[in-house]
C-alpha cells in the first residue's frame, strides 16, 4: 500500500447525493504520484462529479478525499493543480494570450513568468496564428486547445483533464497524447476522464472502471502478462477429460472441433496450459493469446447498457 | 490580490462587451435631452418675466425630476448589467476554471461585486454630476445637499447590486431578474402607498409603505435622497411629485446599510458553500 504522501489522489468512501439522487456512491481510489490514470465509465457513472469533488467545485455528502496530501478544497494546493473542464467555457471576449495571463495571475504567477510562459504554450498548442482572435471566434477544437494551455500554465503537479480530446481532430488528439506523455515524463500526475478508450489505452498507466459512483475495478495497462487474456488453441486429440482439466485455469472453455477458446485471468498461465496439453497427449499446433481490448474489458465490466 | 484581479476583469468585461460605453452613451443622450428641455424652460422664464422665487423653484423641481430619471436608470442599469455575472457563469460552467484557482471563493464574488460597484459609482457620479452641471449652467441652481443625495442614490444601487448577487447564488439569471425587479417594484409601490397615506393621513397605509421598505429599502433611499436634494420650499409645501411627504428616517438609512451588508454576506456564504 502506498503512503499517503506518495499519492496524488486518495479517496475513501466518497459519496455525493444531489436532491436524493446518488451521483457518487462509494468511491475509494488511490492514484500514486507520477501516474497517468484513466477514469472510465458510462455516462452518468459519476466520473465528472468525482473530478469536481476532487477539485473542490462540488462538496461531498460523505467520505473523505485528498489531493497532493491535502484535503480537497485546500486553497493553497490549487496552485499545484491544473484543470481542463469538460465544457471548456471561458471568457470569450478575451484573446488567448489575455485568457492565459488572467488565469496565470489568478495562479499568482509573476508578469515576467507569464511573458515567458504564455508564448511557449500558445506555440505548443498551435494557437500562435490565432493569438489576436477573440475566443468567441474560436472553433470547439481551438477552445479545447486553449483550455489545455490554461491547465498547463502553472506547470502543475496534478492535472485533471475532463474529456480533453472530445472536440479535436486526429492531429489534435495526437498532440494531446504527446502533451500528456510530456507531463508524465516531467513527473506530473494526470487524471484523464475520457470516453475515447483507444486514447486511454495508449496514454494511461492504469485505469479505474467506475459505474454508479463506485470503482468496479482498477487495472494496470502496461503489464500485459497480468491482463485478462483470451487464449485460442488449435490442438488435436483433446478428449473431454483433457478439456475439463483446463477449468483449473479458466472458467470459460469453449471447444469447437480442434479449436479451444479459453478466457484466463493472466497471460502468465499460457505456458502452463501448453505443458498440460502436451503432457496429456494432445497435439498442439497453435496457441494464440488474444489480449482483451480495453473496450471489450470495459463492456465486460460495466455492461452494455451504456448508462444514461 | 485575487479580489482586484476579479474586479479588474469585471470592469474589462463591461468595457469589452461595450456595456460600459453603451451605458455612458445612453446617459449622454439623457443629459442632452434634459439640457434641451431645461434650455427651453429657461428661455420661457425670461419671456414670461417670471419671479426669481418661482423661477428658482421650477429649476429645483427640474433638478429633482432629472435626478429621479437618473435614479430609475441607475436601478435598471444595476440589475440588468449584473444579473448574469454569477448565475450565468455558474450555469455555463465558465466559473469552474476560475473557482479552481488558488483563491477563496469569497474573493471571486467580492471581486466581481467590487467591479460592478466601481462601475455603478462612476455611472451615478457622472449622471448626477451631469444633471447638476446642466441645471447650474442653464438655471444657476444645483440640488441642495448634493453629496448626501448622491451618496443615498449610490447606496440604493449598491443595495440592489447586493440583492442581485444574493439571488444569483441561488437562482437562474431570469429568476434573479424577476425577483430583484419584483422586490424593487414592491418597494416602489409601497413608497407611493406611503405617500398617499401621508396625504390622506391614513396611518395604516403609511405602515404598509414602511413594511415594504423593510422588505426592500431601495425606494426609501431614493425618497430620503429626494428630501435631501429638494428645495426647502418644495419640502415644506408637500406638493412635490417626488415623494417627500413621508420622509424615511435616518434609522431607515442605517437599516438599508445593514440590509446591504446582509445581502452581500448571504451571497458570499452561499457562493462559498454551493456546488459549482
List the pLDDT tens digit at each of the 308 positions of chain A.
556 678 999 999 999 999 889 999 999 999 999 999 998 888 888 889 999 999 999 999 999 999 999 999 899 999 999 999 988 888 999 999 999 999 999 999 999 999 999 999 999 999 999 988 999 999 988 999 999 999 999 999 999 999 888 878 888 888 999 999 999 999 999 999 988 887 888 889 899 998 888 888 888 886 554 566 788 899 999 898 898 888 888 877 888 888 998 888 777 888 999 999 999 999 999 998 877 677 777 777 777 665 44
How many CB atoms sit inside 10 A of residue A157's CB? 20
pLDDT of B185 strictly over 60: yes
pLDDT class of B242 with cuts at 50, 70, 90: low
pLDDT of B211 strictly over 50: yes
Residue A287 host element (H or E): strand A283-291
Determine, for residues A102 and B103 on separate chains, whether the beta-carbon distance falls below 8 Å. no
Q: Is the dihedral of CA B235, B237, B241, B245 positive or negative?
A: positive
Which residues, 6 or more positions from A290, have their beta carbon under 8 angstroms from its beta carbon?
A: A229, A230, A231, A232
pLDDT, average across residues B110-139: 94
Q: Which segment, B13-17, B80-84, B107-111, is predicted with the most confidence on average? A: B107-111
Q: Is the pTM of this model over 0.90?
A: no
- Residue A85 has its nearest CB partner, among B96, B101, B275, at B96
| pLDDT at A306 (0 to 100) | 53
B interface with A, Cβ–Cβ below 8 Å: 1-2, 5, 9, 13, 16-17, 92-94, 96-104, 273, 275-276
Residue of A nearest to B18 (CA): A93
pLDDT class of B57 with cuts at 50, 70, 90: confident
Distances (CA, A) of A251 to A83, A245, A282: 43, 11, 20
| pLDDT at A308 (0 to 100) | 46
Q: Which A-chain residues 131-150 have CB contacts (< 8 A) with chain B?
A: 147, 150
Residues of chain A found within 8 Å of residue B96, distances taken between Cβ atoms: 52, 55, 57, 83, 85, 89
| pLDDT at A228 (0 to 100) | 67
Spatial separation of the C-alpha atoms in residues B37 and B53, rounded to whole Å: 20
| pLDDT at A223 (0 to 100) | 58
The mean-pLDDT minimum among A133-137, B22-26, B48-52 falls in B48-52
In the predicted model, what is the mean pLDDT of chain B? 90
pLDDT class of B240 with cuts at 50, 70, 90: low
pLDDT, average across residues B192-219: 90
A81 and B CB contact within 8 Å: yes
pLDDT, average across residues B158-184: 96
B50 grid coordinates: 417670471
- Residue A90 has its nearest CB partner, among B2, B17, B97, at B97
Spatial separation of the C-alpha atoms in residues B160 and B260, rounded to whole Å: 8
Residues of chain A found within 8 Å of residue B1, distances taken between Cβ atoms: 108
Ordered alpha helix ranges (H), chain B: 2-16, 19-48, 52-82, 87-92, 94-99, 105-139, 146-168, 173-199, 203-215, 218-229, 232-237, 250-273
| pLDDT at A109 (0 to 100) | 95
The percentage of residues in chain B with a pLDDT greater than 90, rounded to a whole number, is 66
State the DSSP string of A63-97.
EEEEETTEETT-TGGGGGEEEE-SS----TTS-HH
Residue of A nearest to B99 (CA): A57
| pLDDT at B244 (0 to 100) | 62
Amino acid at each position: 500500500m502506498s503512503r499517503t504522501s506518495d499519492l496524488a489522489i486518495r479517496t475513501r468512501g466518497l459519496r455525493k447525493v444531489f436532491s436524493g439522487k446518488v451521483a457518487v456512491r462509494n468511491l475509494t481510489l488511490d492514484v500514486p504520484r507520477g501516474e497517468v490514470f484513466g477514469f472510465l465509465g458510462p455516462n452518468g457513472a459519476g466520473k465528472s462529479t468525482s473530478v469536481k469533488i476532487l477539485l473542490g467545485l462540488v462538496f461531498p455528502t460523505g467520505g473523505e478525499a485528498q489531493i497532493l496530501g491535502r484535503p480537497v478544497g485546500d486553497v493553497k494546493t490549487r496552485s499545484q493543480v491544473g484543470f481542463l473542464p469538460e465544457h471548456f467555457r471561458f471568457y470569450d471576449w478575451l484573446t488567448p494570450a489575455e485568457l492565459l495571463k488572467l488565469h496565470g495571475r489568478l495562479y499568482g504567477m509573476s508578469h515576467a513568468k507569464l511573458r515567458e510562459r504564455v508564448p511557449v504554450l500558445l506555440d505548443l498548442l498551435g494557437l500562435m496564428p490565432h493569438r489576436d482572435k477573440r475566443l468567441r471566434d474560436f472553433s470547439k477544437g481551438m477552445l479545447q486547445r486553449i483550455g489545455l494551455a490554461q491547465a498547463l500554465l502553472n506547470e502543475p503537479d496534478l492535472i485533471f483533464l475532463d474529456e480533453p480530446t472530445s472536440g479535436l481532430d486526429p492531429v489534435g488528439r495526437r498532440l494531446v497524447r504527446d502533451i500528456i506523455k510530456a507531463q508524465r515524463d516531467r513527473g506530473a500526475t494526470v487524471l484523464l476522464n475520457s470516453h475515447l478508450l483507444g486514447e486511454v489505452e495508449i496514454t494511461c498507466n492504469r485505469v479505474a472502471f467506475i459505474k454508479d459512483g463506485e470503482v468496479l475495478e482498477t487495472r494496470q495497462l502496461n503489464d500485459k502478462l497480468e491482463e485478462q487474456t483470451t487464449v485460442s488453441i488449435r490442438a488435436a486429440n483433446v478428449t473431454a477429460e483433457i478439456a475439463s482439466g483446463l477449468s483449473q485455469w479458466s472458467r470459460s472453455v469453449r471447444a469447437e472441433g480442434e479449436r479451444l477458446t479459453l478466457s484466463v485471468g493472466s497471460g502468465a498461465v499460457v505456458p502452463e496450459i501448453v505443458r498440460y496439453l502436451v503432457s496429456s497427449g494432445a497435439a498442439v499446433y497453435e496457441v494464440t493469446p488474444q489480449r482483451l481490448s480495453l473496450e471489450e474489458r470495459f463492456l465486460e465490466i460495466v455492461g452494455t447498457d451504456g448508462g444514461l | 490580490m485575487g479580489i482586484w484581479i476579479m474586479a479588474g476583469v469585471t470592469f474589462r468585461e463591461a468595457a469589452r462587451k461595450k456595456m460600459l460605453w453603451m451605458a455612458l452613451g445612453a446617459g449622454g443622450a439623457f443629459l442632452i435631452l434634459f439640457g434641451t428641455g431645461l434650455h427651453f424652460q429657461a428661455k420661457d422664464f425670461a419671456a414670461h418675466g417670471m419671479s426669481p422665487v418661482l423661477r428658482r423653484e421650477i429649476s429645483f423641481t427640474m433638478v429633482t425630476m432629472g435626478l429621479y430619471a437618473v435614479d430609475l436608470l441607475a436601478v435598471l442599469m444595476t440589475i440588468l448589467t449584473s444579473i448574469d455575472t454569477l448565475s450565468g457563469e455558474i450555469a455555463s460552467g465558465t466559473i469552474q476554471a476560475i473557482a479552481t484557482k488558488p483563491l477563496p471563493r469569497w474573493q471571486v464574488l467580492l471581486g466581481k461585486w467590487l467591479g460592478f460597484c466601481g462601475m455603478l459609482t462612476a455611472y451615478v457620479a457622472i449622471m448626477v454630476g451631469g444633471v447638476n452641471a446642466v441645471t447650474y449652467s442653464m438655471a444657476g441652481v444645483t440640488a441642495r445637499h448634493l453629496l448626501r443625495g448622491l451618496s443615498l442614490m449610490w447606496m440604493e444601487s449598491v443595495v440592489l447590486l447586493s440583492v442581485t448577487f444574493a439571488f444569483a447564488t441561488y437562482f437562474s439569471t431570469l429568476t434573479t431578474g424577476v425577483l430583484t425587479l419584483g422586490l424593487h417594484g414592491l418597494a416602489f409601490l409601497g413608497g407611493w402607498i406611503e405617500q398617499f397615506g401621508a396625504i390622506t393621513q391614513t396611518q395604516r397605509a403609511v405602515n404598509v409603505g414602511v413594511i415594504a421598505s423593510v422588505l426592500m429599502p431601495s425606494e426609501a433611499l431614493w425618497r430620503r435622497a429626494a428630501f435631501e436634494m429638494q428645495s426647502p420650499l418644495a419640502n415644506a409645501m408637500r406638493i412635490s411629485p417626488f415623494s417627500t411627504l413621508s420622509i424615511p428616517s435616518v434609522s431607515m438609512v442605517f437599516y438599508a446599510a445593514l440590509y446591504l451588508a446582509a445581502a452581500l454576506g448571504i451571497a458570499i456564504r452561499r457562493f462559498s458553500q454551493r456546488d459549482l
